[in-house]
Structure 1
């Protein structure tokens, strides 16, 4: 019975008390189970470190993330100081700088951190969304890996030290400026010019999509004058002694872009006018090194962040449905909600298990590749599979994440779209951005198709499927093999032939189904 009462005593306190006390790691037994399964001998150390950092991530950093996401806290750009000196200062809220210092103080990329400690820390950090942390952390990882392999000058070695271990107590932050007006993922179409002047390489031109513009160092692609091939450079945002003077290193920040998500993070357009930069690796291998190192790590962690977003969104939505009553019963008891809950929890778990399994495979082949020994044909095939899986995870995980969070928001009813009621609207907007970062869906689908076509002579597509899904029932493997062999009879997905349109749509669905099968195998492996 519900009678009128002008003093409505309804309260959300029960739900809020649960939410505010929840520890992202110690209260998530499935995440602990996944980590233990895949981390192997590193598990005890990773578990200990996860418990320590989770005390910060789940409470202080969570609260800071919520505060800095408010519209009044959005970063802005100051072009000039009071004396008309061009400074291009990125003004960010104090809370961001506090949290950034604490997160980077974890020394995520130090040689003292194992790969699994780093991964679980990043997973937990990403449960708070972008927060002007996720993208810079990902970019710093790519920069460190690039320099681990190629740092060969005093300048690049110092940059590497700054980002890995810190200098004078400060840790360096990385970014990557790849995209230009005429092409985002089309890196070979780059126009930025690199010129050697007075013994130094300097960059000229414009970059159109530059995130983490507060960073200390940037991976930049450019073409040496007169050359068609892309080279890769590391560019300091300030030369030594100039950061305190706010004198940028030969470039201007022209404007901040207005994005629908990751709003705490500045994404800008810049003009390079003689920026000093240091070449990294062979000049004619810049494109390969950006894709194989920088973008590979970015795509891996974009997949990881998709899992993190889903885990938090589903957890909080399901708990709210258990708390909230409608028409005399908890929302969670409605059959449609029960069905949605099972589906969303399955997506969150399969994405998490798949991300950890893929990372494990990545580490195994990375160790063999770095051993200095020639890879066997089986290892070459595994390296190829891992490359394709990273792209498959990126396109599948990010799309699933957006769909899952959108549906999870419905558990809150009208409150689901209220920015101050839960983190889900913010995570949703951030997840949409993740779908486009590091190569949008269509680009990666085409790349996967082209890779498989080129590998046919030494790695037939049906064998690729059998290796990828080796623990699946024969019926499933045979069906995927039959379909992929049919796709491999198509010469190209880029054609004016109308039949290719249907083929392309079927390829999209096939790739999604294939990676879901991989994720489900990973989940089954964890739950044994």
Structure 2
């Protein structure tokens, strides 16, 4: 039971070992996506998982202290080269325990990402969720495309407690940045395999095993000529001809080492065929990281909302708890409207992924799933710091104090999530390029028409009308001719993606709300429709904002 504080000294923080048990709306989404029987068994799994979170958060807080941050070790005590990065005992402990708790043990993608959604609510300063994503992608690409040698010798290590979360992916180079086709790294074929010569510019989660892009001698320019390699840090116990240049001094995720690494003839093992390198990179490694990134962005938003609501329930100003003031309620409602539609749609995407696989055989299905993954990476990341800053505003000056709440750390870490695995512009342009490769508009229109068909004209009729108008007005502008025009398309890429994202995300609320009779989801969909589809002046008529204060409070409290 919440205890109201009379003074700030009586403030009670949230209980982090109940982040799943107290998230009733998430539990209902799992019931909707999986069915109550299957969902009930997972509830038990997540209730066990959440018991670790308070302990892991304490370790993450300690790992974020300046004296505990990563450092380079070039040589051991007797002068042997090591090229290691020393991380804190706290970070090592979380990584080991996450693996011990079964993060790689044969669960569905939805179950794994639900665990990561809960884990991510302690932030990334423990240096855990990034190497978890990288290791997961490394496991996937070797499982699908690796040689027998790689599968037998390295696959067991990647998922083991002895090498917890030790995979990484080194793609970015100084010259190209997000332009992977500009990679200058070379791969020279030898009798034993390949020697890799490359200067990798942004190497997060440096540990023991690396997935690296390089261009074989004589290969084509651009992405078509890239091959993908597995490079261990050590070969027969000795450093594998690589050197750490320096650690990046990042704004956030400081407990996570990010380095510049020179490969100076390092032995690399080809993953798949040379000519399929970029294809395998995108389908198995990058897509996996983007799925993880979305789960973490949603986690940050959820934690920010819970922190802000908890504070607003207790903080007394001008004679009342501030949660009763309309402008504070709107802050919290807006935070929910950023989180819930994206989260519900994201877990729907995961349910689809578990049905069709990460790389479906059907080309159109594969491109549609890739669109959904890129959409969710962009749509969850683009609002992360916006949402956290709104939570900070609920706290007022207390929101910017590092040791008062997790929010300052989430702001810093959230900016990293926005840039990792593709900036907003990069994702928008990739979605646009993919849209030209299949009947994107046809599939998209069909999905929205299903939403409208499931939305009775008697249920929030004004909101339904606004939604339908927003959809049709978009179609009148976003035509096949415009999409095929490179100048127009690249100019409006993010507007196109935001239009599509809002329609699908709001639609997911409507579909779930109607099917499960959840009035709160329909109210939130209505709020979002008026906010986005109606324009600024329509918010004066937003039915949720103009409802009795008790209705808004009930929504915020997720009652």
> TM-score scaled by structure 1?
0.87
Corresponding residue pairs, total: 489
Q: Distance in 2 between matches of 1:451 and 1:142?
A: 22
**Alignment-derived partner of residue 381 in structure 1:** 364
Q: Say if 1:45 and 1:117, in contact at 8 Å, map to a contact too.
A: no
Q: Does 1:13 align with 2:13?
A: no
Q: Does 1:126 align with 2:112?
A: no
Q: 1:236 aligns with which of 196, 213, 232?
A: 232
**Alignment-derived partner of residue 6 in structure 1:** none
Q: 1:52 aligns with which of 44, 48, 53?
A: 48
Q: Distance in 2 between matches of 1:267 and 1:39?
A: 38
Q: Does 1:270 align with 2:266?
A: no
The structural deviation recorded for 1:197 is 2.5
**Alignment-derived partner of residue 158 in structure 1:** 153
Alignment of 1:43-442 (within 5 A): 43-57=39-53, 59-111=54-106, 113-130=107-124, 131-164=126-159, 166=160, 170-171=163-164, 173-214=166-207, 216-228=208-220, 229-240=225-236, 242=237, 247-366=238-357, 369=360, 375=362, 380-442=363-425
Q: Say if 1:127 and 1:312, in contact at 8 Å, map to a contact too.
A: yes
Q: Distance in 2 between matches of 1:368 and 1:348?
A: 27
Q: Say if 2:418 and 2:424, in contact at 8 Å, map to a contact too.
A: yes
DSSP-derived class of the 1:262 partner: coil
Q: Does 1:523 align with 2:519?
A: no
Give per-residue Cα distances to partners, 1:157-200, cap 9 Å, x unaligned: 32112223x37x55462110000111122112111111122322
| Aligned CA distance change for structure 1 residues 187 and 504 (closer, same or farther; 3 Å) | closer
Q: Say if 2:194 and 2:267, in contact at 8 Å, map to a contact too.
A: yes
Q: Distance in 1 between matches of 2:18 and 2:385?
A: 24
- The range that moved more, 404-413 or 190-199, is 190-199
- The range that moved more, 154-163 or 294-303, is 154-163
| Aligned CA distance change for structure 1 residues 184 and 344 (closer, same or farther; 3 Å) | same
Q: Distance in 2 between matches of 1:326 and 1:35?
A: 38
Q: 2:485 aligns with which of 465, 486, 491?
A: 491
The structural deviation recorded for 1:119 is 2.0
Q: Say if 2:284 and 2:358, in contact at 8 Å, map to a contact too.
A: no
Q: Distance in 2 between matches of 1:389 and 1:382?
A: 11
| Aligned CA distance change for structure 1 residues 299 and 24 (closer, same or farther; 3 Å) | same
DSSP-derived class of the 2:52 partner: helix
| Aligned CA distance change for structure 1 residues 32 and 12 (closer, same or farther; 3 Å) | farther
DSSP-derived class of the 1:358 partner: helix
The structural deviation recorded for 1:526 is 3.3
The structural deviation recorded for 1:152 is 2.2
Q: Distance in 2 between matches of 1:391 and 1:405?
A: 22
Q: Does 1:24 align with 2:19?
A: yes
> TM-score scaled by structure 2?
0.83
| Aligned CA distance change for structure 1 residues 368 and 391 (closer, same or farther; 3 Å) | closer
Q: Say if 2:248 and 2:258, in contact at 8 Å, map to a contact too.
A: yes
The structural deviation recorded for 1:363 is 2.2
**Alignment-derived partner of residue 35 in structure 1:** 30
Q: Distance in 1 between matches of 2:411 and 2:304?
A: 9
Q: 2:446 aligns with which of 466, 469, 479?
A: 466
| Aligned CA distance change for structure 1 residues 10 and 424 (closer, same or farther; 3 Å) | same
Give per-residue Cα distances to partners, 1:199-241, cap 9 Å, x unaligned: 2222112111100012x2111111112212000011112224x
The structural deviation recorded for 1:304 is 1.1
Q: 1:508 aligns with which of 489, 494, 503?
A: 494
| Aligned CA distance change for structure 1 residues 304 and 81 (closer, same or farther; 3 Å) | same
